[in-house]
Structure 1
Amino acid sequence: FTKILMEDKHSAKEIAKKTWEMENNVTERDILKFNEEENDKLFDTRPWLKDPHYFKDVKISVTALIKMVTHCRRGGDIEVMGLMQGKVIGTSFYVLDAFGLPVEGTETRVNAGAEANEYLGDYMGVCEDVGRLENICGWYHSHPGYAPWLSGIDVGTQSLYQAHQEPFVAIVIDPKRTISSGKVDIGCFRTYPEDYKGKESEFESVPMEKIEDFGAHANRYYKLEHSIFKSELDQSQFEFLWNQYWVQTLSTSSLLLCKEAVANTITDISEKVHKYKNNPMLMRRDKLVGYTTGRGERGGEAPKKDNEIAKINKGTTKMVLDNSHMLMSEVLKSMIFSHIECNNEEAKKDVEMEK
């Protein structure tokens, strides 16, 4: 009886883990050895000072990702913050580990105080004692329910880090949308120098009350590509962390956990539609122009931009897909546990017959 129960749980856990890896495109890679000579050479040349777009992508270990997501989920509606350890190879950040900070957070911002700085000092001291040579390469924080992007405060924080602790990257995770979609909703960012003005960041489904803040700083930073990898040494830690993540996922209902976020999203979409309908100038412009096109920097055609109603449609479509995914997850969990329950009943009958 116990053996059957454990086998069913084990297979279901493995399926969920493999599905999670496929959803987040996890690849295998072995880059854990720290090369001090390469690190010194990088800091001597500092190529990022000459090119604001020098860094192109961020490669995150599966262990670091699970730690960050679990931390962000524990925060609920409150923003949390942590730091990442890793290194730089060429134009890529490699995030190998992450740890949370004891910070004071609210639903809209997070501030690191003296306690967090003291904790950071102690943590890095322990890392040196055990031979962990990787530097702090970035920070992460959560945006519960309102997508990964950098607010005005975030831009200021990242700019400060880049001024005094380069190379440094910012990662933002939305734990609410991660739960609803099944795929980690994550963004990696770097800010531009003060005298450099970049292009506006790509479309994000941002709530009405945060659109002004999003638009005001959209050209102060750029988004980096990201990918997830795992190494042989990650496997044991990943198994341990996955057991915690798996239990948390199974023991909670995503539909119930995200019901407030879903209601807020519906209200937000309704407000955006109402605002759009009451703005004849905006409606007329979208109707006449449709998708706006311009001329690129070298005379070619610039990428097309969505008009306002297209942005609303994108946000609505994403909400519907996420809700469908949550419903499917609940159905699958019901099927798994119903199967286990049936096996339990059959096992009990077999025991009774043997008696």
Structure 2
Amino acid sequence: MDAQRGWEIENAIKLVDPARDALYRYDTDKVKKINEAKPWRTDPNHYKHVRISAVALVKMVMHARSGGDIEVMGLMIGYVDHETFIVTDALRLPVEGTETRVNASSEADEYMVNFLERSRQAGQMENAVGWYHSHPGYGCWLSGIDVGTQELYQTINEPFLAVVIDPHRTISAGKVEIGAFRTYPKDYSGGGGESTTDGGAAVPMAKAADFGAHANRYYSLEVSHYKSTLDSKILEALWNKYWVQTLSSSPLFTNRDYVTNQIADIAAKTAQVLDNMKKNSSLPPMGPRPKGNNDQLAKVVKAAEKIASEEKMGLMAAMVKGKVFAPQAQATDDAARNIANNGGDTQMADAKAA
């Protein structure tokens, strides 16, 4: 359980209201009033926060990791409270994705409707409050297709949000790489700026155009995590599976293709910045000079440092696992070898010696 505790600390998961489990109390009247008032229509930035339960977070991360390099999609269950989305649970959707996109089909929509109907029949009154999908290796932001999907959901099923998880960066960093977003109305002109914390430098060059083209059509929400006493048993069961997956894998091995691509991308960006600098140096001394090369180089250096830091963490994790498990593995191999060479009579002696 120490590993689970460390994961909770790393992802800032806080225990709230342990006596009454307040975030799991669904207030039908309160939610009805919010839906009738529709505050998001007068203020496109009305929703500012997302609180995701530890159970939902683990489910989403496990789902994202299971997809590998293929994007996956799921549904989030919960409710809204003033300016905050409360996500209490998450489920996978039967959606076929590719390495670059994921689209909800009519089959997925039918699945969602049936699930919510059966949940209400069973007494679970929470609504669908958002969808999540993975961006394997290229950060948490919305592509043009994602923006279109989110705009559609916000049109027919408000209040609704989009969550993006990067499973490759999660493995490398040891902390869940996650972002939450909402789109602006089509006639809204107040949006602008990059909607991710690390900016475009961490986005691969192949995705850079799509990243910048739609940044003014959505905004990001602050994401925090919580757990309740109601989560304990479910979280413990999920954690056992999550921890086995984590323990049995090495970031250096699992993410080798991702890291190789990241290094190649950094090299290409560096060459591009240096090429721009050479072009600028050939301009007349008194003529106008483009700005931003130093800023771009600083962003590339920052992205490179992040990759190096993640690789060091992966190496340290491999060394710790080697120190902990190598002696036991060697003892097991020796015992098996003795049994194979001397017969089963030595099995009890080996067991006693161990």
- TM above 0.5: yes
Q: Larger Cα Rg: Structure 1 or Structure 2?
A: 2
SS in 1 for 2:88: strand
Question: Could you give the per-residue CA deviations for residues 286-339 of structure 1, whole angstroms, max 9, x where no partner exists?
Answer: xx89889xxxxxxxxxxxxx8211211121111111111111111122222246
1:334 and 2:322 equivalent? yes
Structure 1 residues 312 and 353: CA distance shift in structure 2, 3 A: closer
Contact 2:47–2:221, Cα closer than 8 Å, also in 1: yes
- Equivalent position of 1:302 in the other structure: none
In 2: Cα distance, 1:272 partner to 1:310 partner: 11
In 1: Cα distance, 2:147 partner to 2:299 partner: 24
Q: 2:310 aligns with which of 319, 322, 326?
A: 322
Q: Which amino acid aligns with 2:296?
A: E
Contact 1:72–1:173, Cα closer than 8 Å, also in 2: yes
Q: Which amino acid aligns with 1:327?
A: L
Give the C-alpha shift of residue 276 in structure 1.
1.2
Q: 2:298 aligns with which of 305, 310, 316?
A: 310
Give the C-alpha shift of residue 112 in structure 1.
1.6
Give the C-alpha shift of residue 251 in structure 1.
1.5
1:27 and 2:14 equivalent? yes
In 2: Cα distance, 1:339 partner to 1:353 partner: 14
1:80 and 2:80 equivalent? no
Give the C-alpha shift of residue 18 in structure 1.
1.1
- Equivalent position of 2:263 in the other structure: 266
Give the C-alpha shift of residue 147 in structure 1.
0.5
In 1: Cα distance, 2:102 partner to 2:162 partner: 14
Give the C-alpha shift of residue 48 in structure 1.
1.1
Q: How does 1:134-145 map to 2 (within 5 A)?
A: 134-145=126-137
Q: Note the residue ranges of structure 2 that are not aligned, 5 or more in a row.
A: 284-288, 336-347
Q: Which amino acid aligns with 1:27?
A: K
Give the C-alpha shift of residue 163 in structure 1.
1.2
Greater alpha carbon shift after TM alignment, 313-322 vs 272-281: 272-281
Question: Could you give the per-residue CA deviations for residues 124-170 of structure 1, whole angstroms, max 9, x where no partner exists?
Answer: 12211211100000000000000000000001111111111111111
In 1: Cα distance, 2:280 partner to 2:183 partner: 33
- Equivalent position of 1:200 in the other structure: 193
Q: Which amino acid aligns with 1:17?
A: Q
Question: Could you give the per-residue CA deviations for residues 26-66 of structure 1, whole angstroms, max 9, x where no partner exists?
Answer: 10123101100100110111111111111111000000000
Give the C-alpha shift of residue 350 in structure 1.
8.8
In 2: Cα distance, 1:277 partner to 1:334 partner: 41
Give the C-alpha shift of residue 15 in structure 1.
2.0
In 1: Cα distance, 2:33 partner to 2:142 partner: 31
1:131 and 2:123 equivalent? yes
CA RMSD of aligned residues (A): 2.5
Structure 1 residues 341 and 219: CA distance shift in structure 2, 3 A: same
In 1: Cα distance, 2:175 partner to 2:304 partner: 18
SS in 2 for 1:95: strand
- Equivalent position of 1:280 in the other structure: 277
Contact 1:276–1:282, Cα closer than 8 Å, also in 2: no
Aligned length: 326
In 1: Cα distance, 2:280 partner to 2:239 partner: 48
SS in 2 for 1:120: helix
Contact 1:277–1:283, Cα closer than 8 Å, also in 2: no
Contact 1:81–1:100, Cα closer than 8 Å, also in 2: yes
1:240 and 2:226 equivalent? no
In 2: Cα distance, 1:352 partner to 1:96 partner: 49
Q: 1:156 aligns with which of 139, 148, 152?
A: 148
In 1: Cα distance, 2:245 partner to 2:5 partner: 17
- Equivalent position of 1:70 in the other structure: 62
Q: How does 1:70-109 map to 2 (within 5 A)?
A: 70-109=62-101
SS in 2 for 1:163: helix
Question: Could you give the per-residue CA deviations for residues 248-278 of structure 1, whole angstroms, max 9, x where no partner exists?
Answer: 1111221111000000000000111111111
SS in 2 for 1:96: strand
Q: Give 4+ residue runs of structure 1 displaced > 6 Å after superposition.
A: 288-292, 342-346
In 2: Cα distance, 1:165 partner to 1:115 partner: 17
Question: Could you give the per-residue CA deviations for residues 95-144 of structure 1, whole angstroms, max 9, x where no partner exists?
Answer: 10000101110000011222212222221122112111000000000000
In 1: Cα distance, 2:38 partner to 2:85 partner: 14
Question: Could you give the per-residue CA deviations for residues 46-88 of structure 1, whole angstroms, max 9, x where no partner exists?
Answer: 1111111111110000000000000000000000000100111
Q: Which amino acid aligns with 2:275?
A: N
- TM-score of the pair, normalised by structure 1: 0.86
In 1: Cα distance, 2:261 partner to 2:353 partner: 55
SS in 1 for 2:215: coil
Question: Could you give the per-residue CA deviations for residues 209-254 of structure 1, whole angstroms, max 9, x where no partner exists?
Answer: 1000001011111111111100000111000100110111111221
% of aligned pairs identical? 47
Contact 1:276–1:283, Cα closer than 8 Å, also in 2: no
- TM-score of the pair, normalised by structure 2: 0.86
In 1: Cα distance, 2:244 partner to 2:47 partner: 37
In 2: Cα distance, 1:33 partner to 1:340 partner: 47
